[in-house]
Amino acid sequence: MTIPGFILRNALRNKRRLVLTLLSVTLSLFLFTMLQTALHEMTQPSQTEESSLRVIVRHKVSLGNALPTKYQSRIERVPGVRTCMKFTWFGGIYRDPKDFFPQFAVDADKLADIFSEAKVDPQENAAFIKDRAGCVVGIKTMDRFGWKLGDRITLKGTIWPCDPVLTIRGVYRGGIDETNLFFHHEYMDELCGKWGVCLNFWIRAHRAEDIPGLIKQIDETFANTDAETKTETERAFLLEFVSMIGNVKVLINSICSVIIFTLILVTASTMSMAIRERAREIAILKAVGYDGWQILGLILAESFGLALTGGFLGCFGAWFGATMLFQYVNIATVSNGMFIKLEVTPHIVVSGMLIAIVLGVVSCIVPAWSSVRMSVVTGLKELD
Amino acid sequence: MAVPLRYNFRNLRVRWRLTIATMLGIALVVAVFVMVMALSQGLKSTYVSTGDPRNLLVLRKGSTAESSSQITRSEVRLIKYLDGIARDGDGEPLASAEILILINLDRIDHHGSGNVLVRGIGPVGLRLRTSIRLIEGRMFQSGLHECVVSRKISERFANCRVGEQFRSGRTLWRVVGIFEAAKTAYESEIWTDADEIRDVFKRNFYGSILIRPVENSTMVATMIKRMEADKQLSIRVLPEVEYYIEQTKTAAPIQWLGSVLAVVMSIGAAFSAMNTMYAAVSARTREIGTLRVLGFRRRHIYVSFLLESVILALFGGAVGCLFSLPLNGMATGTMSWTTFSEVAFEFRVTPELLAKGMAFALVMGVLGGLLPARLAARKPVLDALRSV
């Protein structure tokens, strides 16, 4: 019998126990991976080349206060600004509050330049720009409601007192969030009675190096006016939003530590059970000439194998689960827009596997060491 | 006669290492469940307890939040003097035209900032809310840029203690008082005068009107019908209590997290309980044989092992509940998805939640014990006695 064969036989001696332990390792690491993925999603907004060029201007008092649209031409004159677009959260209801998806009023002709990662067919985009009551919708929302180009939809305003009727002129694919709807800001202004305000301005800078200077200059331009501004990068803007949700990081990380602690506890007690009942065999192995280190190696290999298999199943189960969830469930809707994509990053998988490795060592080291140190005579006396 | 319970207790004590490990596992699962649920419970009860059942809230038609609703001044004039609104001793109608705005304030440790709701109230606004109690300082006076801050907000945001000032909208606001509001959603707000707010933040409209109708239900019903049908008014009237209950949906993601965690973790813990019980059964094969010879029936053995598992789990559950108790009353905050502002609230570990935690433990114990107990009950007597 080969050494690996021996280890495998030992691992399989109590199949029921093996399966149960394996399942609890798998479940715990599955949960760990999922929670870390959710945390990552919330605290680390993904950054691309395009998003690092974006800057957002909002009212200094808070996100809930609107800015005068007349600021737009002054922002456009600030050096380093390539495009400046009005951007207003519409937050209307389509059919029923349950059918929620994000809607924004924007400058139609500037949309493609600001969100360049959201790809729209050039012809569709031209049609959207031309039709003042037109809109562009993300592919996810199109599929969700089974919409086609040319369909007309009505949104009931909850924040803005108007109910725009929009014609779908284009579909976009790509970008972080494929569920948004964009329509003409002018159209909203007209319906709501020309208030001359918008919630934010989204800016695309020429180069990333221009951004610090540009932020400073915009805020200085509007200092001491009735509507002072706060300008920040897209990343800072998103992180601030996340920080509002509360101390999610502490919550999720403490849950994760509890899970890992419990897992170590449970696995260690199982392993010690498995090793202690083998005291006689270990004594025999020693009697036939294996030294302590070799035996320790055998036990460690078994425990490692168990932990790593569980870790592998758990992490990849989570990866598979997250992918499936992303494919078949509209996560953005279920979670109130908190999660947009669920991506199990390699980093998370690696930390899950590292935990499995630590688990493999920690869970067996104490009982393994004590049974290895046990004298052959005591070991042989043990009844199984 | 059933196998005495003492037998089970003694067995748990003999294998104390395994017992403690399994118990702690179950305890931690129960503790996590109770804690997460206490979070969502605290958030929910904040909203559920807010509002006076006698009050009605008037919002713009189609509006879902006070902070984004607009009521014009002419609408306010029309609504205020409607028949059916109660009046005070001086003949003044009990209607408070209010405005809610969102302001961004630095957190108390100056790490980051958060959105806080500032409520501008009318002269009778306080009389419509009996839960407000000043605990420090005095009420604000109109026209002096004074405000009162809830205790929770003053503990979470910078420059919000009595005597301090914070800047927002080109004005310095002086804090003159701290209030408590019986753990309602008002405890996440700053209060000042409505017209001052409108002036400083350049709003030519109000956000909502809080009214107290007379205590005559038929009259109130006709008033509401008339208000909502009035072509001059584009408004929505709903009981104040209902408006806040709608906002309990803010707690939905937390509740979702709690349920998913609880289910997955308890399956894991049930596996470990099962492992422990299988070990117990195989270690006691001879004892089982002896019990059978003494005259105990298969079902006695079955019940005995199942009970042992349940006892183990219930102990774990109790320890888990104990772990979660210190959390009760701890202050925390999250963002309301309705107003995008900070809601300050407290963890609430209620007896109901503890009972749910224990029920979870019970389920884990039963799930973990069923199969091992069946195995124990089915052992043939002779084989069991022969085993070493």
* pLDDT of the residue at B166: 92
Cβ-defined contact of A20 to B271 (cutoff 8 Å): yes
The CB density around residue B180, as the number of other CB atoms within 10 Å, is 17
Does B258 share its domain with B182? Answer: no
**pLDDT tens digit sequence for B186-221:** 999 999 999 999 998 888 889 999 999 988 778 888
H and E: helices and strands count for chain A:
15, 12
* pLDDT of the residue at A335: 57
* pLDDT of the residue at B186: 93
Cβ-defined contact of B65 to A30 (cutoff 8 Å): no
Does A308 share its domain with A174? Answer: no
- Domain boundaries, position B278: 5-48+249-386
Cβ-defined contact of B272 to A24 (cutoff 8 Å): yes
Beta strands A134-138 and A181-184: pairing type?
antiparallel
Does A27 share its domain with A68? Answer: no
Q: Which of B21, B39, B102 sits opposite A62 (nearest CB)?
A: B102
Q: What does each of the 384 residues of chain A score in pLDDT, given as a tens digit? A: 788 888 888 888 888 888 988 888 898 899 899 888 888 877 776 677 778 889 999 998 888 888 999 999 999 999 999 999 999 999 899 988 888 889 999 999 999 999 988 899 999 999 999 999 999 999 989 998 999 999 999 999 888 888 999 999 999 998 777 889 999 999 999 998 878 899 999 999 999 888 999 999 999 999 888 888 999 998 888 887 777 777 778 888 888 998 898 888 888 888 888 888 888 888 888 888 888 888 888 888 889 888 999 999 998 888 888 888 777 766 655 555 556 667 788 888 899 999 999 998 888 888 888 888 888 888 777 655
Does A311 share its domain with A356? Answer: yes
Does B195 share its domain with B225? Answer: yes
Q: What pLDDT band is residue B34 in, cutting at 50, 70 and 90? A: very high
Helix (H, G, I), strand (E, B) or coil at A167: strand
- Region B116-141: mean pLDDT is 91
CB B270 within 8 A of CB B316: no
Q: Does residue B240 lie within any of the structural domains?
A: no
Quote the crossing angle between the two packed helices A248-276 and A15-43, to the nearest 10°. 170
Distance from the Cα of B134 to chain A's closest Cα (Å) equals: 27
* pLDDT of the residue at B1: 67
Does A278 share its domain with A347? Answer: yes
Cβ-defined contact of A63 to B68 (cutoff 8 Å): no
Tokens representing residue B154 in the block: 């003053």
CA-nearest residue to B255 within chain A is A335
Does A68 share its domain with A31? Answer: no
Q: What pLDDT band is residue B319 in, cutting at 50, 70 and 90? A: very high
Q: Is the dihedral of CA A9, A12, A14, A17 positive or negative?
A: positive
Token look-up 């399994």 returns B22
Does B30 share its domain with B171? Answer: no
* pLDDT of the residue at B388: 61
B78, exposed or middle or buried, with CB in 10 Å at 0-12, 13-18, 19+? middle
How many domains does chain A contain in total?
2
Cβ-defined contact of B340 to A244 (cutoff 8 Å): yes
Distance from the Cα of A159 to chain B's closest Cα (Å) equals: 5
- Domain boundaries, position A358: 3-46+246-381
Q: Following CA atoms B132, B137, B141, B147 in sequence, which dihedral angle do they give, to the nearest 10 degrees?
A: -70
B276 touching chain A per CB within 8 A:
yes
B291 touching chain A per CB within 8 A:
no
* pLDDT of the residue at A153: 94
B278 has pLDDT over 70: yes
Does A295 share its domain with A358? Answer: yes
Q: Does residue B160 lie within any of the structural domains?
A: yes
Does A198 share its domain with A66? Answer: yes
Cβ-defined contact of B253 to A335 (cutoff 8 Å): yes
Cβ-defined contact of A20 to B24 (cutoff 8 Å): no
Q: Does residue B76 lie within any of the structural domains?
A: yes
Lowest-confidence segment of A239-248, B250-259, B342-351, B358-367 by average pLDDT: A239-248
CA-nearest residue to B252 within chain A is A335
Q: Which of B207, B233, B259 is the last residue of a domain?
A: B233
CB A362 within 8 A of CB A262: no
Q: Does residue B371 lie within any of the structural domains?
A: yes
Q: Which of A200, A227, A254 is the last residue of a domain?
A: A227
Does A177 share its domain with A288? Answer: no
Distance from the Cα of A75 to chain B's closest Cα (Å) equals: 21
Q: Does residue A232 lie within any of the structural domains?
A: no
Give the ipTM of the model, two decimals please. Answer: 0.79
Q: Who's near B25: CB < 8 A, 6+ residues apart?
A: A262, A265, A266, B269, B272, B273, B316
Q: Who's near B96: CB < 8 A, 6+ residues apart?
A: B121, B122, B123, B124, B125, B128, B194, B209, B210, B211
Cβ-defined contact of B64 to A97 (cutoff 8 Å): yes
Distance from the Cα of B271 to chain A's closest Cα (Å) equals: 6
B337 has pLDDT over 80: no
Does B213 share its domain with B79? Answer: yes
B67 touching chain A per CB within 8 A:
yes
Q: Does residue B241 lie within any of the structural domains?
A: no
Q: Who's near B256: CB < 8 A, 6+ residues apart?
A: A334, A335
Q: Is the dihedral of CA B293, B297, B298, B299 positive or negative?
A: negative
CA-nearest residue to B276 within chain A is A270
* pLDDT of the residue at A330: 63
Tokens representing residue B50 in the block: 């807010």
Q: Which of A227, A259, A278 is the last residue of a domain?
A: A227
Helix H or strand E encompassing B335: strand B331-335
Q: Does residue B377 lie within any of the structural domains?
A: yes
B323 touching chain A per CB within 8 A:
no
**Which of B344, B337, B339, B248 is CA-nearest to residue B66?**
B339
Cβ-defined contact of B278 to A383 (cutoff 8 Å): no
Cβ-defined contact of A270 to B64 (cutoff 8 Å): no
Q: Does residue B57 lie within any of the structural domains?
A: no
Q: Does residue B242 lie within any of the structural domains?
A: no
Lowest-confidence segment of B144-158, B242-256, B287-301, B353-367 by average pLDDT: B242-256
Does B28 share its domain with B87? Answer: no
Residue A292 CA to residue B257 CA, distance in Å, equals 47
Token look-up 């592998």 returns A312
The CB density around residue A149, as the number of other CB atoms within 10 Å, is 14
Does B255 share its domain with B219? Answer: no
Q: Who's near B298: CB < 8 A, 6+ residues apart?
A: B292, B377, B378
CB B135 within 8 A of CB B156: no
Residue A189 CA to residue A133 CA, distance in Å, equals 12
* pLDDT of the residue at A45: 67
Q: Which of B233, B264, B285 is the last residue of a domain?
A: B233
Find residues 94-113 of chain B whose CB sits inside 8 Å of chain A: 101-104, 112-113
CB A201 within 8 A of CB A87: yes
Chain mean position to CA B116 = 19
Amino acid at A240: E
Computed over every residue of chain B, the mean pLDDT equals 89
Does B315 share its domain with B259? Answer: yes
How many domains does chain B contain in total?
2
